[in-house]
Structure 1
Amino acid sequence: MGYWARRLRSFGFAVQGLRVLLTTQPHARIHALATVVVVLAGFYFQVTRLEWVALLLAMAMVWVAEALNTGIELAVDLASPEWHALAGKAKDVAAAGVLLASFAAFLIGMLIFLPKLTNTV
């Protein structure tokens, strides 16, 4: 298999991972809805280029955290199918990463959209 065929194949694996994320993880679907709402609000309020950068980085941070959390949870479940305290802690810490990313993204969204909401009301 050639170089470009391998790259295309690995891209396909990543798309499959995104499909797994969206079809098996309820929180990923909530993130998808939030992403759509933020993008629509960005267009509606005509956010600046710098605000778009902040919003895109915040959304990416949440998506990356959710994907890593899901990967860690799946790997832990494979390695420790029986309940184990350390497995639970590993999953809790991974979930905390998503919580922290989501909270930071929420604050970024509030910093950008709250002034726009108060000016239009």
Structure 2
Amino acid sequence: MTDAAAFKGKKGLTRLWNALGYSRDGLSAAWKNEAAFREEVLLAAITIPLAFYLGNSGIDRALMVGSIILILIVEILNSGLEAVVDKASPEKHELAKRAKDMGSAAVLLSLINAAVIWACVLL
């Protein structure tokens, strides 16, 4: 039985515990293997406390913090997509390039989203 099959058969706290472990492993892999993720974590370490300082309301702070966390989420999804594409298609291929470019575009859009939200809240 594979790890994935064993995970799906678990229920309750055991399933939650396993899921937390997989999430920890994913965060660790992103930190070790992705320079962009490390840079964005540094950005988050600076901007999240700043959001609590600069935000005038709970909504302001939630929007500002949420926009930064979204960048991290999209970066992790992009990194996962790139890893799968590299495994499935190690040679250069138009569809592999398209998938990777779309993942990169998603990260760019999450960065623009954060900039727009911060500008709307602060200006």
For normalisation by structure 1, the TM-score amounts to 0.84
Deviation at 1:9, TM superposition (A): 1.1
Alpha-carbon distance between aligned partners in 1 of 2:39 and 2:18, rounded to the nearest angstrom:
29
- Residue 78 of structure 1: which of 82, 87, 94 is its match? 87
Q: Larger relative contact order (C-alpha < 8 A, sep ≥ 6)? A: 1
State yes or no: 1:57 paired with 2:66. yes
Q: Where does structure 2 lack aligned partners over 5 or more consecutive residues?
A: 1-8
- Residue 118 of structure 2: which of 91, 94, 109 is its match? 109
* 1:1-16 mapped onto 2 (5 Å cutoff): 3=11, 4-16=13-25
**Identical amino acids, percent of aligned pairs:** 27
Q: Where does structure 1 lack aligned partners over 5 or more consecutive residues?
A: 116-121
2:91 match: secondary structure: coil
* 1:33-48 mapped onto 2 (5 Å cutoff): 33-45=42-54, 47-48=56-57
Alpha-carbon distance between aligned partners in 2 of 1:83 and 1:2, rounded to the nearest angstrom:
39
AA aligned to 1:109 is W
Query: Residue 40 of structure 2 corresponds to which residue in structure 1?
Result: 31
Give the paired residue count. Answer: 114
